[in-house]
Structure formats: C-alpha cells, structure tokens
Amino acid sequence: MKAIFRREMSAYFTSPIGYIYLAVFNFFGGLLFVFACLNNQTTNMANLFSSMFWLILFLIPVLTMRLLSEDKKQKTDQCLLTSPTSLAGIVLGKYFAALAVFSMSLITLILFAIILSALSPVIWTVVIGNIVGFFLLGVAFLAVGLFISSLTESQLVAIIGGFVSILALWLIDFFVSFIPNATAKELISKLSFASKYEDFTLGIFNISSMIFFISVAVIFNFLTVRVLEKRRWG
C-alpha cells in the first residue's frame, strides 16, 4: 500500500492535476473569503463554508478521475493486478493519496480562520466543526469518486460520473420528498448526507454522523476492491 501511495502522490505533482486542484481551490476559496467575510466585516464563516461546499463538489472528481481509469486505459492495470500488493492495498494506497491532497486544501480554511481571529473573536468550535465536516465529506466522496473511476477507462466519464453521483447523494433529501410511502421516506432520509453534515456546521461533533461518513468510505472502497477482483479473474 505504501508503494502505491507514494506512486500516486508523485503522479499528482508530476502531472498538473495536483497543482490545478490546489490552485483552483485556493483561488476561488480566496475570492469567496473576501466576499463572504472581509467585505462584510464578519467573522461568521457560515456563508463561506456553504459556498466552499459547491467548490469541492466540482473538484473532488478531479482528484479521483484518473486513479483507476488511467491504469485501465494504458493497460498498466494488469501489472497492478498481478503485483504482490493486495487489491485492498492498491485501492487504499490510491484512496489515501487522494485524501492527502484533499487535506492539503483544508489548510487554507484554517488560515482564513486565523486571519479573521486577528480582526475579531472567532467561534472556534464552529470553525473546527465545519473543517471536520468538510474533511468527512471528502472521506466519503473520494471513495465514491474512486469507485466510479474503477468502472471506466475514460477520465471524462469518470469525472462526470463522479460529479453526478456525489450530487445525487447530496440531494437525497430532495428526492425523498417525492416518495409517497412514509416508511420508505423515513428509511431513506436516514442516508441524508446534508443533515449529517449540518451538525458539524453548528459546531456539534456527532459521533454517529462521523461513523456514517466513514462507513460510506468503507463501503465504496470495498465495492472498488470487488470491481478489481472481478477484473483480475475476468
């Protein structure tokens, strides 16, 4: 797994992808910070974080689009599948590399909070809650994107499929409103990403919500392993 992790981290920064991701995140994050906080002379970062969510919704598929689709397209996946590294090790190595790059971008959010704290008191529980919520969204959504990447050799299909899948998961509450059966509605609403993320935006560290996001990551990484397993023996 360590070898795969190092290989993918190197790939992010020997190609433009890692730099583009961080540059776009920091550029638009900076603009949102100026308009949402500095221009309004407020230390309330709620509007900033809600806007940043839509930014990462678009950017996460950029991090995952090539992780497995590129190997499949270039036929290097056969070398991976026959290597001594376990399939779980391959998947986790790629997954943690994407998570590491994603985590780098969160440093920017911490810097924004520090800048605001120099101007006026900041409610740190809310700030940290939002950052932890962002991180957990990344934990879950990166696994979804990696799974989509395992299904195709086209990076374009992987990025579009990743975006649509993540958006659909986020809009579960919207889809639930069209379900006539009350029992089914209640069961599906328990899968709501938005409501579980909302706790963190209020500075509430809900353990069950943390477990939910981590469980989503475990499930989709497991499904990715199954896809590779089928390809190995198929």
Tens digit of each residue's pLDDT, the chain (234 residues): 888 899 889 999 998 899 999 999 999 999 989 988 888 888 888 788 888 888 888 899 999 988 888 767 776 666 666 677 788 999 999 999 999 999 999 999 899 889 888 888 888 888 899 899 999 999 999 999 999 999 988 889 999 999 999 998 888 888 887 888 778 778 888 888 888 888 888 888 889 999 999 999 999 999 999 998 887 776
Number of domains in the chain: 1
Whole-model pTM: value is 0.91
Euclidean distance between CA atoms 2 and 6, whole angstroms: 6
Expressed as residue numbers, the domain containing 109 is 2-233
Cα 37-40-43 angle, rounded to 5 deg: 45
Q: Within 13 A of 148's CA, how many CA atoms are on the CB side?
A: 26
